[in-house]
Amino acid sequence: MRLGFGVTQPPTDLCNKAGNFPKIRLLAGEVARDRWLTREEARQLIAQCPPHLAAVVRFALATGCRAKEITGLEWERVDLDRQTAWLDQTKNGTPRGVPLNRDAVAVLKEQIGKHDRFCFTFKGEPIRWQLSNTAWLKALERAGITDFRFHDLRHTWASWHRQSGTSCDELKDLGGWKSRSMVDRYAKFATEHLSAAAARIESSGAKA
């Protein structure tokens, strides 16, 4: 099964005084975690989720929204005609608009009539608990996916975008990141723009 891999960092000689285990120091340019799913694995995960959780997962993969942004989304902040949602509960505290692609719109349309205020619910009530609960863990287990957090759906969304040709600047705006450096970690997933450069030293008789 194909998953993105977490980055293992070399330990330093510094130890935690209480637990006596090595502290991990990130090297320049490294990130602590880089986990994402292929589209087939995502389909398997969605298939194993109960309906309310499957809807949330699908919306996360379509928009890159964080868990609290999704569970706190209200109908008054959604315009399906303009295909836009406005978030006021963002991680960095800055409200932002989220363009809704067809997948996201489809998910929202399926939720119409379930609650007067909130878009995503469970048995007619707003979801007010952490999404990484028993239902999430069981869905991961049934799908055969290990070491995967709900927030890794955002990494998956960003990785898919870069693989599909979305620029880092576009991704920054789509994901609501404040700085370009926060999305440069995904640059490695798109190398098409370097193909011409790589071809400059090809042997004259080389064939693809």
Q: Tell me whether residue 207 is one of the annotated catalytic residues.
A: no
* Sign of torsion over alpha carbons 163, 103, 71, 84: positive
In which residue are the tokens 């959604």 written?
Answer: 78
Q: Contact, 64 vs 157, CB < 8 A? A: yes
Consecutive H or E run containing 84: strand 84-87
Catalytic, out of 35, 58, 66, 155: 66
Q: Tell me whether residue 186 is one of the annotated catalytic residues.
A: yes
In which residue are the tokens 């600047």 written?
Answer: 169
In which residue are the tokens 């990785």 written?
Answer: 159
The rounded distance, in Å, linking the Cα atoms of 136 and 53 is 8
- The number of helix segments (H) and strand segments (E) in the chain equals 8, 7
Catalytic, out of 91, 117, 178, 180: 91
Q: Tell me whether residue 185 is one of the annotated catalytic residues.
A: no
Catalytic, out of 68, 138, 149, 151: 151
Catalytic, out of 36, 136, 160, 186: 186
Catalytic, out of 35, 154, 172, 185: 154
Q: Tell me whether residue 151 is one of the annotated catalytic residues.
A: yes
Q: H helices within 64-124, ranges in order?
A: 67-71, 102-111
Q: What angle do CA 137, 113, 87 make, to 5 degrees?
A: 65
Q: Tell me whether residue 66 is one of the annotated catalytic residues.
A: yes
**Distance linking the first and last C-alpha atoms of the chain:** 28
Q: Tell me whether residue 172 is one of the annotated catalytic residues.
A: no
For the annotated catalytic residues, the residue numbers are: 66, 91, 151, 154, 177, 186
